[in-house]
Structure 1
Amino acid sequence: MKNRIILTGIVLAAALTVNAQGGFQRTTVEERVKIVHHKIDSAFKPSAENLKQIDDVFTTYYKEQDKLREELMGGGGRPDMEAWREKQKPITEKRDAALKKLLSEEQYKKYIDEIEPALRPRGRGPGGGGQGGGRNRD
């Protein structure tokens, strides 16, 4: 009995350590689009065609974002966050321009104020997780 408790503690500690060190797999483009799909559908109830177009916008966005991540991390180590923001900006602007065509002005404002912040990664310490304010919301 004592050995089981100790073994359980060791397994739990190992699992927490791996998770704390980022030992989990990055979600796929499809998984991220599915999350956005659910949030947009719940918030706005768009038509099936409109929702498919929104899914396409986010599929393109996430693929471009992943390509940029691979490009910037190709040299190993951690990429320069300033360079990341500079190169990420046109990708985000392209996504937002497409969304403005698919959402009403009110829906787009709700997306920017409520949905987009919920999609950002969290828990990356100070300055991490895409919290770089000052993004133009027009």
Structure 2
Amino acid sequence: MKKIGLFLAFMVAGVIMVNAQGGGGGGFRQRTVEERVKTVHEKIDSAFKLDAEKLTKVDAAFTTFYKGQDKVREELMSGGERPDREAMMAKLAPVTEARDKELKTIFTEEQFKKFKDEIEPALNPRRGPGGGGGNRQ
């Protein structure tokens, strides 16, 4: 009887540890395009107070951008190896340029500058030196 109780205690402890670590999958879940667009929409709306028509255009530009970003990421990851940052940035550059070109038609010059200087960096938080990811040494 003591062995069964001890076994159950270890099983419960194991389940708790796995759940505390995000289910064993690293705890990272890529947000959907819609979730990311909603975040951008809220930040831009609070910063610029654009009319509904312009906000719809911003949402469309970011929907296209995030779908393109996901496609590039999938293509690079399909090779089996994790691509380096420079390769990823080089492939994403045309997608980002297309988004910026679209935003320049929506924003004033001043708004676009504020977007690039303040809002865009807040949308892409960096994880610090080494890119984060746990207890790397």
Give the TM-score of the pair, scaled to structure 1. Answer: 0.77
Structure 2 gaps of 5+ residues are 1-8, 133-137
Amino acid at match of 2:117: D
In the alignment, does 2:60 pair up with 1:61?
Answer: no
Deviates more, 1:23-32 or 1:48-57: 23-32
Q: Deviation string for 1:18-53 (max 9, x for gaps)?
A: 389632320000000000000000000101000000
Compared CA separation, residues 110 and 20, structure 1 to 2 (3 A): farther
Q: Deviation string for 1:32-80 (max 9, x for gaps)?
A: 0000000000000101000000000000000000000000000223113
DSSP-derived class of the 2:110 partner:
helix
Aligned twin of 1:132: none
Amino acid at match of 2:63: T
What is the CA–CA distance in structure 1 between the aligned matches of 2:24 and 2:119, rounded to whole Å? 26
Moved over 2 A (4+): 7-11, 13-24, 125-129
Aligned twin of 1:35: 39
DSSP-derived class of the 1:77 partner:
coil
Compared CA separation, residues 93 and 127, structure 1 to 2 (3 A): farther
In the alignment, does 2:120 pair up with 1:116?
Answer: yes
- The answer to which structure has the higher helix fraction is 2
For residues 7-46 of structure 1, the aligned pairs below 5 Å read 11=16, 13-18=17-22, 22-46=26-50
Q: Which has the larger radius of gyration?
A: 2
In the alignment, does 2:116 pair up with 1:128?
Answer: no
Task: Tell me, yes or no, if the aligned pair for 2:68 and 2:95 is still in contact at 8 Å.
Answer: yes
Deviates more, 1:107-116 or 1:13-22: 13-22
In the alignment, does 2:71 pair up with 1:70?
Answer: no
What is the CA–CA distance in structure 1 between the aligned matches of 2:59 and 2:67, rounded to whole Å? 12
Aligned twin of 2:5: none
DSSP-derived class of the 1:92 partner:
helix
Please give the root-mean-square deviation of Cα atoms over the aligned residues, in Å: 2.5
Q: Deviation string for 1:92-117 (max 9, x for gaps)?
A: 11111111110011111111111000
